[in-house]
Structure 1
């Protein structure tokens, strides 16, 4: 049993010991009984906020929260991603280019689930764990002192169907909200730009107190580098992409235009 599975069992047992049904707990923490059941059975991602609410509701006095913080929080992520998560948390500036999908930190839960479910690569338990990790990572954008987040995405990432139409409608509404935040700068490279420097693949640049590092994806795992020669090359690519991308205002207009195709 993994730490993640162990905590799910402890959450369920703590609810039962407190004399609560799933419906009763849901009423206390403002979730549906279906949502409580989905989390307890691993069909929905577990988050730190949910653990805190349950801990308070069942009178666990911080025990469940401590288990989440000390044993589970990073266990939800694949081992090869842990190095990058620490870099991401410490960053004061994140620059993200994505070619084919909405950047992970801007994805809704439903959109992220559809992405992770594609191709049948993961079991339901693995999908729930990776969802939990992705949702937890997004917390850096809403913390008291968030990093500046600049995302450049290819227009095709907006137009690619990911899940049912309702998933896309929700994702676009979320994108509009995020794009209007002061610390988030979203830019789209329009299809009219034609060939551009990012067609070889996405990457992330993270700058923090200890320096800078980059994250590059491949089908198996992430590659993290802080080699000066790699960073210099990616800086050049980034500047080229920014020059091809639309302004923030133009991007919001394009998002609104594409959103109409999903309603």
Structure 2
């Protein structure tokens, strides 16, 4: 079971209520009468902007035919969603809403597959490398750089906590050569990758697309993640980034396209063992 995350709990609760509504033979008016809520309240529940009280949630679940065990599951999700407060929510002036959403989902994910073409993924960046990238972001003011760095380092705790995130990171060989921050910072970053992989071989895996890959540039400079969760009620989610926009991808067709692209790119990579060997070779060079 992955670390409880209020963001994931809220998302799962919304999806499960929506599925109950879809599977039910009851009309909305009947359910609203049974629960004792107005239509605006009803709309807010399904848009995710309002949370049912415990009593009303049980009444809704009962109206849809849920047994006591399922009602308890829904109430437990509600408790996590409302009583827990993720660390990412404590920095509203620093972290944009879409990034808060990512960090919340990331915190509760079981595994992440990420594709980064020219940069080492944020979850794997050492301090010097991360500081260089953050400082180069024109949307971040100089006095905020260290704050953003602290946030990035805190994100990485999911790689080493009691129930660590499983991470598969796919990057181009170019990311191992581009001297982001200068040669000393790059060396520090490559050594950091090696330490992480050797200390956590069961949960951290690198897959490098070598320069010799015939179709290695097929995805260009894309950056995207695929997040999977422990709950069987939750589908795979996507996350996509461009220089000006980033956000969660929920649409099943789009997520399927990202998963297909990732699988195709994987055919161009070195094995996990050979990828780690290549990183070590770059350090020696």
TM-score when normalising by structure 1: 0.69
Is 1:224 equivalent to 2:248 in the alignment? yes
Contact kept? 2:166, 2:203, Cα under 8 Å? yes
In structure 1, the residue matched to 2:281 is 257
Instruction: Report the aligned-residue RMSD.
Output: 2.1
Distance change in 2, residues 1:170/1:189 (3 Å)? same
Spell out the pairing of 1:163-174 with structure 2 (5 A cutoff). 163-174=181-192
Spell out the pairing of 1:1-263 with structure 2 (5 A cutoff). 69=87, 72=90, 76-118=94-136, 120-180=138-198, 181=200, 182-196=202-216, 197-208=218-229, 209=231, 210-261=234-285
Deviation of residue 71 (structure 1)?
A: 6.7
SS in 1 for 2:163: coil
Distance change in 2, residues 1:140/1:71 (3 Å)? closer
- Following TM superposition, the consecutive aligned residue runs of length 4 or more in structure 1 with deviations greater than 6 angstroms are none
SS in 2 for 1:96: strand
Distance change in 2, residues 1:251/1:130 (3 Å)? same
Q: Which runs of 5+ in 1 are unaligned?
A: 1-66
SS in 2 for 1:234: helix
- How far apart are the structure 2 equivalents of 1:80 and 1:241? 26
Distance change in 2, residues 1:236/1:79 (3 Å)? same
Q: How many residues align?
A: 195
Q: Which runs of 5+ in 2 are unaligned?
A: 1-84
Which of the pair is proportionally richer in helix? 1
Distance change in 2, residues 1:167/1:70 (3 Å)? closer
